[in-house]
Amino acid sequence: MIAQAARIAAAQDATRLNRPEPFTPPLGDGGFFQRDRSIHPPAHAPGYKSSVLRSPRQSLLSLENSISEITGPVFGHNDLGPLDNDLIRNYAKDGDPIGERIIVHGRVMDETGRGVPNTLVEFWQANAGGRYRHKKDTYLAPVDPNFGGCGRALTDDSGYYYFRTIKPGPYPWRNYVNSWRPAHIHFSVFGSGFAQRLITQMYFEGDPLIPVCPILTTIPDKDAIDRLVAPLDLNASTPFDSLTYRFDIVLRGARSTYFENRPEGN
C-alpha cells in the first residue's frame, strides 16, 4: 500500500509540474520464478528403476502462476509439540538411541537469498543401523527401541531451522543387486506458496556411496548434487556431545507482492 501511495503522489506531482510520469517498475504479481528443470531429476530416469513405470511421458502443461499456486497452507507453533525437533528424545522409551549424536541446522531461503520465515520443515530417516521404523521395512538391521526417526520444525523469522538426531546408517535396496543408499535424511518443505512445495534428501560430506547412488545420480547437474551434501560444521558442533552439519535449502524465488502481515516480502 505504501508503494501504491508513493506512485499516486508521483503521478500527481507529474501532472502539477506538467512533466511526464516517472517510470516505476511493475509491482510483483506474487508469482514464482520459473522452475529450472535442468537441475532437477527427469521423471523418467531408468538407472533408478522405480521411476520407469511411475514417470509421466506426456509434456507437462505450463501454467502461469495463479492464486491457486501462490497460496499455500499456513502453519504455526500450535501444530508442533515441544520435542518435535529432538529426534534423540521424541521417541525415547528407556534410554538414548544408539549411534552418533548430531545436530543439523541451516536456513530455508528463496532464490533471491531471502529467508523463508515461519515455514514448516519435516524430516525423516533410518536409525544408526540403516533400518526405518516402518512396517514395510524388513532389512536385517535391528529396530532401535528408542528411536522413531522423524521430526519437524518451523523456521524462525530469518528462515533458520535446527534439529538434533542420530546419524543415519547406509542400507541396501533392490535397484541393482548390490545397491546401497548413502546415509541421508529426507526433507519436506512448504514455503509460502503451494508451487514451492519440495521433497529432497540431505547427504553427508565425505560419504563414499554418494557418487554411485542411483537416486542421487538421477540429478543431471553435478553442482546441484553437491548442494545436497551437507558439510561438517565444526564451528557449530558441541564439544563432547554432537557434531553438526549445515544444510541450507533453497526454494523458488518469489516475485514479491505486498502482504500486510509480511511487509519484508514473501
Residues 6+ apart with CB under 8 A from 18: none
Query: Under the criterion CB under 8 A, does residue 144 sit at the interface with other proteins?
Result: no
Residues 6+ apart with CB under 8 A from 221: 38, 39
Element at 9 (helix H, strand E)? helix 2-16
Query: Under the criterion CB under 8 A, does residue 115 sit at the interface with other proteins?
Result: no
Question: Closest Cα to residue 102, out of 254, 16, 204?
Answer: 204
Grid look-up 538426531 returns: 165
Minimum distance, C-beta of residue 233 to other proteins, in the bound complex (Å): 18
Q: Which of residues 207-226 bind other proteins (CB under 8 A)?
A: 215-216, 218-219, 221, 223-225
d(CA 226, CA 112): 20
d(CA 259, CA 248): 25
Question: Closest Cα to residue 151, out of 114, 97, 194, 205?
Answer: 97
Q: Which of residues 147-206 bind other proteins (CB under 8 A)?
A: 148-152, 186, 188, 192-195, 197-201
Q: Is 40 a catalytic residue?
A: no
Query: Under the criterion CB under 8 A, does residue 29 sit at the interface with other proteins?
Result: yes
Of 4-12, 77-85, 157-165, 230-238, the window that binds other proteins (rule: CB under 8 A) is: 77-85
Contact of 91 with 230, CB cutoff 8 Å: no
Minimum distance, C-beta of residue 100 to other proteins, in the bound complex (Å): 20
Closer to other proteins by Cβ: residue 160 or 237: 160
Q: The dihedral of CA 195, 113, 150, 172: what is its sign?
A: positive
Q: Is 186 a catalytic residue?
A: yes
**Which member of 48, 91, 161, 171 is catalytic?**
171
Residue from 20, 25, 26, 56 touching other proteins (CB under 8 A): that is: 56
Q: Is 181 a catalytic residue?
A: yes
Q: Which of residues 123-142 bind other proteins (CB under 8 A)?
A: 123-124, 132-137
Question: Closest Cα to residue 28, out of 6, 63, 3, 62?
Answer: 3
Grid look-up 509540474 returns: 17
Residue from 74, 96, 100, 142 touching other proteins (CB under 8 A): that is: 74
Query: Under the criterion CB under 8 A, does residue 24 sit at the interface with other proteins?
Result: no
Query: Under the criterion CB under 8 A, does residue 39 sit at the interface with other proteins?
Result: yes
Minimum distance, C-beta of residue 14 to other proteins, in the bound complex (Å): 27
Closer to other proteins by Cβ: residue 12 or 66: 66
d(CA 216, CA 228): 9
Which residues are marked as active site?
132, 171, 181, 184, 186
